[in-house]
């Protein structure tokens, strides 16, 4: 005993090892894996309910299998707020909620009409859930949305997360996540933009029934009684599709203001340096090569340069857009060899003129919307405040209603197209 | 010792317990009586007949004495006149023939060694694709010859010692005058002289005495089985210690990064060697830390795992009877048992063991739901990774167990803490006044050319600083 | 073996200490107070810290082999020197508790969901004790060994953060006043006294030509890293920067996922985990040296036991307090920092400039042998 004590005094780290051995090792030996004690939530849907909110979650259920299998179950609960609803779900599933692998949060239009900031507050406060989690809006209930996406699991490349990730860069002009929502809210104009995906019964879009290589729902089980467990599609699976038509939901001060149409978003994207892979249809093109043709260009690369300045006290918002395009389709009455194989190394002045007109026409649609609804969707306020602060301040002071400043801003758009060789 | 031959023979036979293999022969050479004493199993009979018996029997003189015997009669290259009883016993046991002359005090000892000696062959843990394939053997004289063949210099200094009361094992210190640190040589000499043990069977016995700390986990003395490596190390300023009966040669001083260097490194492209050393370093980390990290993620840090990985692991481990910690320990013990069995099993049973190991443990166990495939893969990877640096295998095996324990009880922070603690411990080690993690801690720029990264021979102009050599220049331009 | 570290090792320790706690909560705290002007604040404070180190190096060059206590005794007398050492001990103690506090909160949120205090302390305290107890040599070598990996980790975090920036916007400084600036600078002075340890180990740095330059190079390196970090952080999060208390992890949270690389925050976690042990070790070592200077007859083992108990008690006090430790440091710690990092260095500057007994390093000083 004395020898042991002297050894321990000589090497104090052994005392620590002894403490760890006695205190922590027995529990560690018998401790089950962390994953078996957690309900790993991959998607969350929030709807409004008479009680307050209805939160639906898709929870991953491990199944003994040596091959890769994803098995999910849908749980939902109604409560006063999201935090209480998640606690109920924890009780229903019998496990602690794990939010750190949540990839998507879906809200519907109805709940977006109330202050969305209040709704997602517990989710943004959670240290588990990252602010890069996708946040999208849908037309029908979020629960139906999640139910429909139960079969779209992460093993397959055709899943909802990939859809949103693709759209962030190529379709929307926003990251459509919690962070972008807050950044918009805390911007001077308090405007946030989220992606919008419709749930329809049509045939176009991403079909959600069958065809998945890995199992989606558990197969057995009926829809849960009351709030609680329901397996996805416990009744006969409906033929629903997710329609990502390029629409975005615009929120002002955390409340849904409107959902932009496809055309409006297209017009808005003229002032968006992202959204590279899109199309431009130019009509009535007549030049040396074409004769009253309708040409569809595929936009490959965009370089947008925005300049804000004042001319005689009038704010000018000027965008110079260099486009690299490719001719995708030509519709013309009499197709000849020139129009079939156009050698467009340099865009003709007529074609350039037509492109500029088309761009301005498309943008005009959204410009009118911005003025009418007082929605600064191009961050004009921020840019003017940054680059011409004093002039902008005096300009705002000169207005009766400073929230209406867009009415007096002159928008200029110059498109310099190039066709890629 | 007596003047009478018969008395001498009987006396020394009784000293050696009248063992059956201690033989003697009495012959008359002229008018002189000679007594020959030898150990049958140790002497070369051919040499005995040709070099001793034939010349003696052909001698035509009347009287014989030691001087005539030495100078004119015996056709043998190694002769020694001995005067004491102790020397007679020592020489007899060291494969010598003892010749007594009636009427003369003293004896002559001649080396007649013909002990069974293995032919130098490539050592199993130091295979090379291109390069010398000779390895040391158990016989110290052969080993000395292998070094002498490569170091043809008069500056080679060999000091020999006899260690072990019963084994009287020959231990030799090799150094190069002008290159090796004389203080180090003296220190090692002093240590060897102070050893008072009954027997030394292998160089690891000597290694234990050369260590400067008790019971430490970390290796303190370099080991190698290849003469070209020994010579290269000696040319860097190190000293080598050869022990009779062992093919493992010890080198000093030793630093941790030496074990990342293999013999193949010096005979291949330096860029490739750099890449392989980095792989070995990675192997060291994988061997020691990987199972612990995996266990900590499973028990405490599911947050750190991506979704698809989590799904794979969760599905594979669902429904197992063991907890993750117990499962990990169980599989580790099974693999270690397999490893021990593979060392001891006869070769013709090795195939059966492989089948048992691979199929039963790996496949059937997973299918039966007793163990999970991710854990089997992790442990297997860790065990294989140990043999990127086989010289550190014992240390890595112990560290693996420690890190599994740390990861299972304290999580990833415990593993990081353990890593820092152990590296700090290594940094407190200064065996023979050389920092253990040199040349990286402390950073010695000139020595970095042959640590983790390898420069070509033409760029290594100076000897390593850690060997404290005074003669720093090895390549003159 | 006499303790002595090379200038490279000293530079690495300065690098690691300078990073202490600046990459966690401080960016969001500063942004909340001053908005984008936090960039100017951090620049000023980092410059101030670098200047402090420069003064300390000049002090070393002047009094090559003297300890800081001997220098102070020479200038101010033994009693004042002991008082200053006592204040330094207090600073180191608070700095250790601050370090534990910040990093416990961070690790609990990031990876240790159900971490308990005793488990964290059981891991952290023994290791920093071992680091400090075994001496400066081994501590510096261990830091040197892992330094490359830490730098690679930080560079990865910065690179990933850079890729998260969707568009660069010029920061706007609104509602800035001299009073606000001065108040902020003063309030956060405590966070920027990381080089106090340098005075304690001043006699243990091996002198050779250019040692000061080597140490300053590492410091500039760290300065650049931290400043770029802050710029990237504010560019990534812009007006929501105040919401993100774990800057080093959050900076890579919005990385454009190339090839679905997930959970990259492990890089940031590992950087923090490795760094906190060295920071704790250096602070504890400095604390021990200070106390030993004040009480020369104290026994090392007893000192360490006392330190551990005191740290635990202080930590529990701050942890269960109604206010965060940051508030205490802002309210009270700044006065301690004022004395130690403003008044004392200013006096030292005068001493360096006006002391007649000037000693300069002779040219051609040979490098000391590796020990």
The predicted-structure confidence for C314-340, as pLDDT tens digits, reads as follows 888 888 887 777 788 878 888 888 888
CB–CB contact A12 C166 (8 Å): no
Nearest C-alpha in A relative to B317? A64
pLDDT-derived band at A208, boundaries 50, 70, 90 = low
Average pLDDT for residues C26-35, to the nearest whole number? 88
Measured between CB atoms, does B367 come within 8 Å of chain A?
yes
Question: Model confidence over A25-45: pLDDT tens digits?
Answer: 888 888 888 777 888 899 999
* CATH number given to C7-167+177-354: 1.20.1740.10
Measured between CB atoms, does B15 come within 8 Å of chain C?
no
pLDDT-derived band at B92, boundaries 50, 70, 90 = confident
The radius of gyration of chain A's CA atoms, rounded to the nearest angstrom, is 28
Q: Is residue A15 part of a domain?
A: no
Measured between CB atoms, does B366 come within 8 Å of chain A?
yes
How many Å lie between the alpha carbon of B319 and the closest alpha carbon of chain C? 24
Asked if A291 and A231 sit in the same domain, the reply is no
pLDDT exceeds 70 at position B215: no
CB–CB contact A127 C170 (8 Å): no
3-state helix, strand, coil in chain A (%, to 5): 35, 30, 35
> Which residues on chain C are in Cβ contact (under 8 Å) with A387?
170
With contact defined as beta carbons under 8 Å apart, do A34 and B313 qualify?
no
Q: Is residue A16 part of a domain?
A: no
Nearest C-alpha in A relative to C245? A127
pLDDT-derived band at C184, boundaries 50, 70, 90 = confident
Q: Which of A11, A96, A131, A380 to mutate to test the interface with C (most CBs of C within 10 A)?
A: A131
Distances C299 to A134, B52, C288 between C-alpha atoms, Å: 58, 74, 10
> Which residues on chain A are in Cβ contact (under 8 Å) with B326?
29-30
Last residue of a domain, one of A207, A240, A260: A260
pLDDT for res A107: 93
Last residue of a domain, one of A234, A260, A286: A260
CB–CB contact B307 A154 (8 Å): yes
Count of domains observed in chain A: 2
pLDDT for res B445: 86
Most confident of A373-377, B249-253, C244-248: B249-253
Asked if A43 and A162 sit in the same domain, the reply is yes
Domain that holds residue A109: 34-260
Question: Model confidence over C83-98: pLDDT tens digits?
Answer: 999 999 999 999 999 9
CB–CB contact A24 C119 (8 Å): yes
Torsional sign, CA B420, B424, B427, B429: negative
pLDDT-derived band at A227, boundaries 50, 70, 90 = very low
| Residue of C20 and C47 predicted with greater confidence | C47
pLDDT for res C370: 40
Asked if A232 and A342 sit in the same domain, the reply is no
How many Å lie between the alpha carbon of C29 and the closest alpha carbon of chain B? 26
CATH of the domain at A412: 3.30.300.210
Question: Model confidence over B49-67: pLDDT tens digits?
Answer: 888 888 888 888 778 888 8
pLDDT-derived band at C12, boundaries 50, 70, 90 = very high
> In chain C, where are the structural domains located?
7-167+177-354
With contact defined as beta carbons under 8 Å apart, do B96 and B110 qualify?
yes
CB–CB contact A28 B325 (8 Å): yes
With contact defined as beta carbons under 8 Å apart, do A156 and A120 qualify?
no
pLDDT for res C154: 92
What are residue C248's phi and psi, to 5 degrees? -65, -30
With contact defined as beta carbons under 8 Å apart, do C29 and C326 qualify?
yes
Beta strands in B263-384 (DSSP E): none
**Exposed e or buried b per residue across B59-80, where buried means at least 16 C-beta atoms within 10 angstroms of its C-beta:** beeeebebebbbeebbebeebe
Nearest C-alpha in B relative to C119? B410
Subunits with 3+ C-beta pairs closer than 8 A to C? A, B
pLDDT exceeds 80 at position A159: no
Question: Model confidence over A256-314: pLDDT tens digits?
Answer: 998 988 888 888 888 887 776 678 888 888 877 778 888 888 888 888 889 999 998 89
Residue C275: alpha-carbon gap to chain centroid: 10
| Residue of C301 and C217 predicted with greater confidence | C217
CB–CB contact A179 C257 (8 Å): no
Using alpha carbons only, give the angle A39, A45, A48 rounded to the nearest 5 degrees: 125
pLDDT exceeds 50 at position A222: no
pLDDT for res C361: 47
| Residue of C234 and B341 predicted with greater confidence | C234
Measured between CB atoms, does A19 come within 8 Å of chain B?
no
Nearest C-alpha in C relative to A165? C257
pLDDT exceeds 50 at position C139: yes
pLDDT exceeds 50 at position A231: no
Asked if A67 and A157 sit in the same domain, the reply is yes
> Which residues on chain C are in Cβ contact (under 8 Å) with B427?
134, 137-138, 141-142, 145
pLDDT-derived band at C2, boundaries 50, 70, 90 = low
How many Å lie between the alpha carbon of A311 and the closest alpha carbon of chain C? 22
Q: Which of A20, A33, A62, A102 to mutate to test the interface with B (most CBs of B within 10 A)?
A: A33
> Which residues on chain B are in Cβ contact (under 8 Å) with A32?
323-324
pLDDT exceeds 90 at position B2: no
CB–CB contact C130 A179 (8 Å): no
> Which residues on chain A are in Cβ contact (under 8 Å) with C257?
165
> Residues 109-138, chain A: which have Cβ within 8 Å of B?
128
How many Å lie between the alpha carbon of B305 and the closest alpha carbon of chain C? 7
pLDDT exceeds 90 at position C218: yes
Measured between CB atoms, does A69 come within 8 Å of chain B?
yes
Residues β-bridged to residue A58: A43, A74
Asked if A256 and A267 sit in the same domain, the reply is no
Last residue of a domain, one of A213, A235, A260: A260
Name which of A127, A132, A274 is nearest C254 (Cβ-Cβ): A132
Asked if A317 and A367 sit in the same domain, the reply is yes
Average pLDDT for residues A358-375, to the nearest whole number? 89
pLDDT for res A288: 77
CB–CB contact B311 A103 (8 Å): no
Question: Model confidence over B419-454: pLDDT tens digits?
Answer: 999 999 888 888 888 889 988 888 888 888 888 888
Percent of chain C with pLDDT over 90: 33
pLDDT exceeds 90 at position C191: no
pLDDT-derived band at B396, boundaries 50, 70, 90 = very high
Q: Is A279 helix (H, G, I), strand (E, B) or coil?
A: strand
Average pLDDT for residues A79-90, to the nearest whole number? 92
CB–CB contact B410 A20 (8 Å): yes
Q: Interface pTM (ipTM) of the complex?
A: 0.90
d(CA C289, CA C282): 10
Q: Is residue A124 part of a domain?
A: yes
Query: How high is the mean pLDDT of chain A?
Result: 81
> Residues 247-276, chain C: which have Cβ within 8 Å of A?
250, 253-254, 257
How many Å lie between the alpha carbon of A142 and the closest alpha carbon of chain B? 22
Going by their DSSP bridges, the two strands A134-138 and A191-200 should be labelled as parallel
Question: Model confidence over A3-25: pLDDT tens digits?
Answer: 888 877 777 788 888 888 888 88
| Residue of C369 and B240 predicted with greater confidence | B240
How many Å lie between the alpha carbon of A340 and the closest alpha carbon of chain C? 38
pLDDT-derived band at A219, boundaries 50, 70, 90 = very low
């Amino acid at each position: 005993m004395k020898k042991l004590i002297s050894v321990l005094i000589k090497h104090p780290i052994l005392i620590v090892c002894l403490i760890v051995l006695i205190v922590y090792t027995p529990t560690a030996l018998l401790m089950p894996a962390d994953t078996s004690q957690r309900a790993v939530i991959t998607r969350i849907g929030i709807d409004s309910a008479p009680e307050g909110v209805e939160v639906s979650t898709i929870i991953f259920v491990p199944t003994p299998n040596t091959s890769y299998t994803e098995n999910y179950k849908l749980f939902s609960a109604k409560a006063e707020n999201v935090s209480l609803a998640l606690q109920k779900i924890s009780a229903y599933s019998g496990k602690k909620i794990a939010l750190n692998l949540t990839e998507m949060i879906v809200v519907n239009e109805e709940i977006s009409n109330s202050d969305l900031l209040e709704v997602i507050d517990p989710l943004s406060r959670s240290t588990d859930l990252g602010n890069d989690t996708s946040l999208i809006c849908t037309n029908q209930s979020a629960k139906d949305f999640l139910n429909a996406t139960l079969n779209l699991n992460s093993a397959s490349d055709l899943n909802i997360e990939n859809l949103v990730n693709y759209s962030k860069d190529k379709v929307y002009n926003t990251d459509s996540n919690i962070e972008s929502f807050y950044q918009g809210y805390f911007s001077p104009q308090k405007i946030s933009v989220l992606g919008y995906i419709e749930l329809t019964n049509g045939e176009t879009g991403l079909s959600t029934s069958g065809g998945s290589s890995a199992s989606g729902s558990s197969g057995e089980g009926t829809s849960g009684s009351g709030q609680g467990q329901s397996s996805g599609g416990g009744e006969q699976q409906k033929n629903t599709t997710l329609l990502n038509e390029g629409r975005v939901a615009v929120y002002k001060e955390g409340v849904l203001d409107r959902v932009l149409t496809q055309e409006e978003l297209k017009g808005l994207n003229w002032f968006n340096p992202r959204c590279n892979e899109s199309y431009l249809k130019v009509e009535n093109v007549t030049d040396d090569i074409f004769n009253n043709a309708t040409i569809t260009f595929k936009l490959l690369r965009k370089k947008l340069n925005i300049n804000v300045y004042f001319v005689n006290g009038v704010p000018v918002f000027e965008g110079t857009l260099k486009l690299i395009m490719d001719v995708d389709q030509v519709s013309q009455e009499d197709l000849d060899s020139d129009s079939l194989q156009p050698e467009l190394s340099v865009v003709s002045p007529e074609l350039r003129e037509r492109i500029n007109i088309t761009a301005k026409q498309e943008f005009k649609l959204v410009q009118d919307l911005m003025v009418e609804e007082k929605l600064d969707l191009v961050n004009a306020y921020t840019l003017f405040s940054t680059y011409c602060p004093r002039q902008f301040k005096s300009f705002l002071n000169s207005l009766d209603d400073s929230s209406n400043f867009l009415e007096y801003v002159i928008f200029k758009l110059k498109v310099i197209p190039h066709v890629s060789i | 010792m007596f003047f009478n031959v018969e008395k001498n023979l009987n006396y020394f036979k009784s000293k050696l317990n009248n063992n059956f293999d201690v033989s003697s022969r009495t012959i008359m050479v002229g008018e002189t009586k000679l007594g020959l004493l030898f150990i049958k199993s140790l002497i070369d009979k051919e040499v005995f007949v040709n070099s001793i018996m034939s010349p003696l029997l052909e001698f035509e003189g009347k009287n014989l004495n030691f001087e005539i015997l030495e100078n004119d009669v015996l056709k043998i290259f190694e002769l020694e006149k001995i005067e004491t009883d102790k020397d007679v016993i020592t020489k007899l046991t060291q494969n010598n023939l003892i010749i007594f002359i009636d009427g003369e005090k003293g004896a002559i000892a001649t080396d007649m060694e013909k002990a069974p000696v293995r032919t130098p062959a490539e050592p199993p843990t130091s295979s090379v694709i291109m390069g010398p394939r000779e390895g040391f053997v158990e016989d110290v004289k052969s080993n000395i010859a292998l070094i002498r063949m490569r170091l043809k210099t008069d500056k080679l200094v060999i000091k020999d010692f006899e260690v072990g009361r019963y084994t009287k094992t020959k231990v030799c210190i090799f150094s190069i005058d002008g290159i090796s640190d004389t203080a180090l040589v003296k220190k090692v000499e002093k240590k060897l002289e102070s050893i008072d043990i009954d027997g030394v069977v292998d160089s690891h016995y000597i290694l234990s005495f050369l260590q400067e700390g008790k019971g430490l986990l970390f290796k303190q003395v370099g080991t190698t089985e290849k003469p070209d490596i020994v010579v290269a190390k000696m040319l860097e300023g190190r000293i080598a210690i050869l022990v009779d009966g062992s093919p493992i040669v010890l080198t000093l001083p030793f630093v941790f990064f030496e074990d990342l260097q293999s013999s193949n490194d010096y005979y291949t492209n330096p860029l490739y060697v750099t890449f392989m050393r980095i792989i070995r370093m990675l192997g060291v980390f994988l061997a020691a830390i990987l199972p612990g990290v995996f266990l900590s993620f499973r028990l405490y840090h599911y947050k750190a795992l991506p979704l698809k990985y989590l799904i794979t692991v969760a599905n594979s481990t669902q429904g197992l009877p063991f907890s993750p910690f117990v499962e990990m320990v169980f599989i580790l013990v099974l693999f270690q048992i397999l490893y021990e069995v593979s060392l001891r099993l006869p070769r013709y049973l090795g195939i059966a063991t492989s089948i048992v190991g691979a199929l039963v443990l790996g496949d059937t166990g997973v299918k039966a739901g007793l163990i999970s495939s991710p854990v089997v893969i992790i442990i297997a990877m860790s065990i294989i990774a140990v043999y990127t640096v086989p010289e550190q295998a014992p240390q890595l095996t112990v560290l693996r167990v420690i890190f599994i324990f740390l990861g299972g009880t304290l999580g990833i922070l415990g593993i990081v803490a353990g890593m820092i603690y152990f590296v700090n411990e290594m940094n407190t080690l200064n065996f023979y006044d050389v920092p253990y993690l040199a040349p990286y801690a402390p950073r010695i720029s000139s020595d970095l050319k042959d640590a983790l990264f390898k420069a070509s021979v033409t760029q290594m102009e100076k000897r390593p600083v850690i060997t404290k050599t005074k003669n720093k220049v090895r390549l003159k331009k | 073996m006499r303790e002595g570290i090379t200038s490279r090792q000293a530079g690495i320790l300065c690098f690691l200490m300078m990073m202490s706690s600046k990459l966690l909560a401080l960016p969001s705290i500063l942004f909340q107070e001053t908005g984008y002007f936090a960039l100017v604040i951090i620049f000023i404070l980092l410059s101030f810290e670098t200047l402090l180190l420069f003064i300390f190096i000049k002090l070393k060059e002047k009094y090559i082999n003297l300890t800081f206590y001997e220098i102070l005794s020479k200038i101010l007398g033994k009693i004042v020197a002991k008082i200053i050492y006592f204040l330094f001990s207090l600073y180191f103690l608070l700095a250790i508790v601050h370090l534990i506090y910040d990093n416990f909160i961070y690790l609990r949120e990031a990876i240790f969901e159900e971490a308990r205090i005793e488990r964290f302390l059981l891991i952290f305290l023994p290791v920093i004790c071992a680091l400090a107890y075994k001496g400066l040599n081994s501590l510096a070598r261990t830091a040197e060994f892992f330094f490359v990996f830490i730098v690679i980790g930080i560079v990865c975090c910065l690179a990933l953060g850079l890729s998260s920036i969707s568009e660069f916007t010029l920061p706007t400084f609104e509602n800035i006043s001299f009073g606000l600036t001065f108040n902020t600078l003063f309030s956060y002075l405590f966070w920027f006294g990381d080089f106090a340890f340098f005075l304690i180990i001043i006699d243990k740095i091996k002198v050779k030509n250019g040692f000061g330059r080597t140490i300053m190079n590492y410091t500039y390196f760290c300065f650049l890293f931290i400043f770029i970090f802050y710029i990237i952080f504010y560019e990534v999060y812009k007006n929501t920067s105040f919401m993100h208390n774990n800057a080093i992890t959050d900076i890579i949270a919005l990385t454009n996922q190339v090839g679905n690389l997930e959970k990259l925050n492990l890089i940031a976690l590992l950087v923090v985990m490795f760094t906190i042990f060295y920071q704790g070790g250096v602070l504890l070592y400095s604390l021990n040296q200070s106390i030993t200077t004040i009480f020369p007859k104290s026994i090392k083992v007893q000192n360490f036991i006392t330190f551990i108990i005191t740290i635990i008690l202080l930590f529990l006090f701050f942890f269960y307090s109604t206010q965060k430790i940051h508030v205490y440091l802002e309210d009270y710690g700044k006065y301690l920092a004022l004395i130690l990092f403003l008044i004392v260095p200013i006096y030292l500057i005068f001493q360096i400039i006006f002391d007649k007994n000037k000693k300069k390093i002779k040219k051609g000083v040979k490098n000391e042998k590796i020990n």
